[in-house]
Structure 1
Amino acid sequence: MKFDTPLIHGYLIKRYKRFLSDIKLDDGSIVVAHCTNSGSMKTCIEEGAEVYLSPAKDPKRKTRYTWEMIKLNNKWVGINTSHPNLIAFEAVKNGEIDKLAGYSHVQREVRVGNSRIDIMAQNDRETCFIEVKNVTMKDGEYARFPDAVTTRGKKHLDELIQLKKEGIRAVMLYVIQRSDVSVFAPAGDIDPDYANTLREAWKEGVEIIPVRVKVTPNDIVIDKELPFDLSL
């Protein structure tokens, strides 16, 4: 995924009210940027750290900028939660994830029952439903999800379990927007219900694919698939 307009460099002053952040730009001016991440953003906040913003395309939007990434330990961490679905869609469509390659038709936001699944991929042999989650929390070498209780996330796992029981390929795809981790694990200490449901999904045959991406001010690209540990 490439950024279609040049990003704007600055420094984080603070994040507040979940969806707002004060940013000091290189020219010394202070602007308010929208933060798309509604979670706790554990391990993603460091006041004074370098950040990049994108300018809002809608001239009527109250916040003129969107906070895209922050530099932590000399590496960029993507915090825009609207990107992983597009990253995943492009990657599946272009065959960039080995376990999800070979599909001739890839579609976003497909209704299944009373819900929408992020991606449906099809070829002449099978249909695959893929749910996508954004991961930014770091715990040592682990990338962990979620960083706050997510009843919606548990609901999505339940839907994948049901699809698998109906004989349809079901995949939980975690897009990890930081390169300083090497293993994925659920955050059972934060949301035990989600962690337990993920273990149940794995036992029922739902596939778990954690993918690390490389975040830069120019683009966000697939780096590699990571192993996972469901024991935490």
Structure 2
Amino acid sequence: MEFGALLEGRLVRRYKRFLADVALASGEVITVHCPNTGAMTGCAEEGARVWLSRSAVVTRKYPHTWELVETASGMACVHSVAANRVVREGFTSGRIPGFSAYPHIQGEVKYGTGSRADFLLSGTSGRVFVEVKSVTLHRDGGSGAFPDAVSARGTRHLRELQSVVSADTRALLLFCVLHTGIDRVSAAGDIDPAYRAALVEAMAAGVEVQAWRARVDPTGLILDCALPFTPDPIPAEQEGVC
């Protein structure tokens, strides 16, 4: 996934969940769209370097969108939807192994009790329902965690994935890490114990879980490394190496 030309600035503040003020090099302060509804812990520090894209839609009230931030522990992409684009490219390019038997890919497919799978892979071997979660919550020693706030929606998605597992149907939860300082992933059970419990149950029922980190820089994003995942944090000395 490639960015066009991005505009650099400094974060003044993030507020009302969807808005942020950014100071440009010229001294002008502009209000931009913040495309992340989470807590954004560690990714919204005052004065941080940020990068913005500009929409071609002239009727937008706030034409700029906040894409990237330089944190104390690495570069991060705060645009959650970018995770889906990066993962789609990972499947279509064959970068994510183990899915060559499912060459057809659809996005936003209805399933379960009113949910939509991010992707449905299909082929002669059957189907794979895929749920993608963006990870930017960085903790001590390079540990990443999801979710960064209580997520009833995320727990519901786990139940839906669990319900479709059968002889010819796989279910995959893919944590897309959009933070270069993260080298392993776990559930944030201290933030949302219900999500962790549902995740453990889903894994026991056959839901597959993978974590992949993307290279993040102002030119674009690309999956470049599979990371270890466990429901609970992995000690730093046991971390995986890309």
TM-score bucket of the superposed structures, by smaller chain: over 0.9
Q: CA RMSD in A?
A: 1.4
Tell me what 1:217 maps to: 218
- Deviation string 1:146-188 (CA, Å, 9 cap, x unpaired) is 0011111111100100011565100000111011111100000
Tell me what 2:19 maps to: 20
Tell me what 2:209 maps to: 208
Q: Does the CA contact (< 8 Å) of 1:93 and 1:103 recur in 2?
A: no
2:241 pairs with 1:231: no
- Deviation string 1:14-57 (CA, Å, 9 cap, x unpaired) is 11111111101112111111111111111212211111000022
TM-score by length of 1: 0.95
Q: Does the CA contact (< 8 Å) of 1:137 and 1:145 recur in 2?
A: yes
Shift of 1:102: 4.4
Tell me what 1:143 maps to: 144
Q: Which amino acid aligns with 2:12?
A: I
Q: Secondary structure at the match of 2:157?
A: helix
Q: Which amino acid aligns with 1:18?
A: R
Q: Does the CA contact (< 8 Å) of 2:147 and 2:188 recur in 1?
A: yes
Q: Which amino acid aligns with 1:94?
A: S
- Deviation string 1:127-149 (CA, Å, 9 cap, x unpaired) is 11100111110112211000011
TM-score by length of 2: 0.91
Tell me what 2:128 maps to: 128
Q: Does the CA contact (< 8 Å) of 2:203 and 2:209 recur in 1?
A: yes
Shift of 1:101: 4.0
Measure, in 2, the Cα distance between the counterparts of 1:184 and 1:132: 14
Q: Does the CA contact (< 8 Å) of 2:68 and 2:77 recur in 1?
A: yes
Tell me what 1:159 maps to: 160
2:92 pairs with 1:86: no
Shift of 1:231: 2.7
Structure 1 stretches of 4+ moved >6 Å = none
Aligned residues: 231
Q: Secondary structure at the match of 2:198?
A: helix
Shift of 1:126: 2.1
Measure, in 1, the Cα distance between the counterparts of 2:209 and 2:107: 19
Measure, in 2, the Cα distance between the counterparts of 1:99 and 1:189: 32
Q: Which amino acid aligns with 1:95?
A: G
Q: Secondary structure at the match of 2:9?
A: strand
Shift of 1:73: 2.9
Measure, in 2, the Cα distance between the counterparts of 1:86 and 1:201: 25
Measure, in 2, the Cα distance between the counterparts of 1:165 and 1:154: 20
Q: Does the CA contact (< 8 Å) of 1:75 and 1:180 recur in 2?
A: yes
Measure, in 1, the Cα distance between the counterparts of 2:18 and 2:172: 29
Q: Does the CA contact (< 8 Å) of 1:165 and 1:204 recur in 2?
A: no
Change (3 A) 1:190 1:74: closer
Measure, in 2, the Cα distance between the counterparts of 1:78 and 1:69: 4
Tell me what 1:115 maps to: 115
Sequence identity percentage: 37
